[in-house]
Amino acid sequence: MDFNRSVSRPLSQLGSSFMENEDELQLMGWNLTPEDLTHIPEHWLSYPEVRSLYHYILAFAYTILFCLGVIGNGLVLWIFCVSKPLRTPSNLFVLNLALCDFSMVLVLPILIYDSIDHKYPGHLQCQIFALCGSISGIGAGATNAAIAYDRYSTIAKPFEGRMTYGKALILIICIWTYVLPWCLFPLTEKWNRFVPEGFLTSCSFDYLTPTEETKAFVGTMFVICYVIPMSFIIYFYSQIVCHVFNHEKALREQAKKMNVESLRSNQDANAQSAEVRIAKAAITICFLFVAAWTPYAVVAMIGAFGDQSLLTPITSMLPAVFAKTVACFDPYVYAISHPKYRLELSKRVPCLGINEKPPATSDTQSITTAA
C-alpha cells in the first residue's frame, strides 16, 4: 500500500515550511527527514510542537508504570510457575494474560527514552512498540473473555464445567489464532500500518489516513478486537451474577422451610467464599480492561469516522497512556483477591508482609482454580 498520499503537500516543502520562523514554536515533525514524514499522518503535522514539560510528565508516568508492571507481572509469572498448587488448567489463562501484559511493559523503556529525548523513535522502534501494544491489548481482551468463560463454567456448572489442561490449551491456541492476524496485517502493511500518534513518541495502527481502507480496518478492529471480547465478558459475568443470586435465593428459601439458619457447612461456606473472591478478582480485571481500552477505542473511531479536529496530541495521548495502565495493575488485583496466590507470596516473599493463612481444612480442592 502507498501511504504517501497521507501527506498532501510535497515532503520537500513540509520541512522548509516548518523552519520559516525559528523564533516561534515549531510545528510537530519540523526536524524529521522526508523518509520519516512518510510514516506520519499529516493530521499531527498541523499542531505546534509539544512542550518539554508534557514529555517529562509522560516519561515520569511511564517510569512508574514500568516499575509496577515489571514487579507485578514478574511475581505473577514466577509464583504461578514455581508453585505446584497453582499449576491448574484455569491458571494457564492467568499466565497468558501476564505474558500479554509483559509484552507492553517491556517496551516502556523505549517510550521513556523517546519522551525524555522528545523525538520520533524511528520506523523500526515504532513498529516494535506498536506490535507489542497490539499483542498486549488484543491478547488481553481475548484472554479476559476466556477467563470470563472459565469463571462462568466453574461457578455455574461446578461438576461438568471444570477446565482441563487439554481444553485450556485449545482455548489458548484459539486466542492466539484470533489475535495474531490483527497484529500482523498492519506490521506487514497488507492492511493498514503502524504509525506514530499523539506526541509522535508512541505508535499504533493508523486511524487517521482518510481512505476507505483505513475506515474498513478500524471498523473491523473495533468489532473483532473490542466489541466481541467485551460482549463475551459482559454475557458470562452477567450469567455468573444471575446464577449466584438465584442460588443464594434458593438456599435461603429452603433453609426457611426447614427452619434452619443455613444449609451450608463451614467447609462449603469457605469454598463458596473463595470462589466468589476469585470471581470478583476476575470481574475487576475485566472491568479494568474495559475501562482502560474504551477511551482509546473511541479515539480510533473518531479518527476514522468522526471529526478529527477533536484529536489533539494531548487528547489522544491521555487514552493511549490510560490503556497501558491495565497491563501494570492486573497482577495486583490477583495479589489482593486470589487466596492461593497470596498464600504462596507470603511463603516465598515474606518481606512483602502478606499474612495469608492456609484454609482451615485440607479438603478444599475445589478452590484451587483461579480466574
Q: What is the DSSP string of 112-126?
A: HHHHHHTS---HHHH
User: What's 158's DSSP letter?
Assistant: T
Q: Is residue 1 part of a domain?
A: no
Going by pLDDT thresholds of 50, 70 and 90, the confidence category of residue 106 is confident
pLDDT at 282 over 70: no
Q: Is residue 282 part of a domain?
A: yes
Mean pLDDT calculated for residue range 144-166 = 82
Query: What long-range pairs does 17-24 form, CB within 8 A, spacing at least 24?
Result: none
pLDDT at 22 over 50: no
Q: Is residue 41 part of a domain?
A: no
Instruction: Give, for 168, the enclosing helix (H) or strand (E).
Output: helix 165-188
Residue 159: how many CB atoms within 10 A of its CB? 5
Number of domains comprising the chain? 1
Q: Which residue has the higher pLDDT, 353 or 96?
A: 96
Query: Domain containing 175 — which CATH number?
Result: 1.20.1070.10
Going by pLDDT thresholds of 50, 70 and 90, the confidence category of residue 263 is low
Q: What is residue 15's predicted lDDT score, i.e. its pLDDT?
A: 43
Q: Is residue 355 part of a domain?
A: no
3-state secondary structure of 90: coil
Domain limits at 268? 46-348
Q: Is residue 295 part of a domain?
A: yes
Q: What is residue 308's predicted lDDT score, i.e. its pLDDT?
A: 92
Report the phi/psi class of residue 120: left, alpha or beta, with left for phi > 0 and alpha for psi in -120 to 50. beta
* Maximum average pLDDT range among 85-94, 265-274, 335-344, 361-370: 85-94
Q: Is residue 2 part of a domain?
A: no
Q: Within 13 A of 57's CA, how many CA atoms are on the CB side?
A: 10
Q: Is residue 120 part of a domain?
A: yes
0.85 surpassed by pTM = no
Q: Is residue 362 part of a domain?
A: no
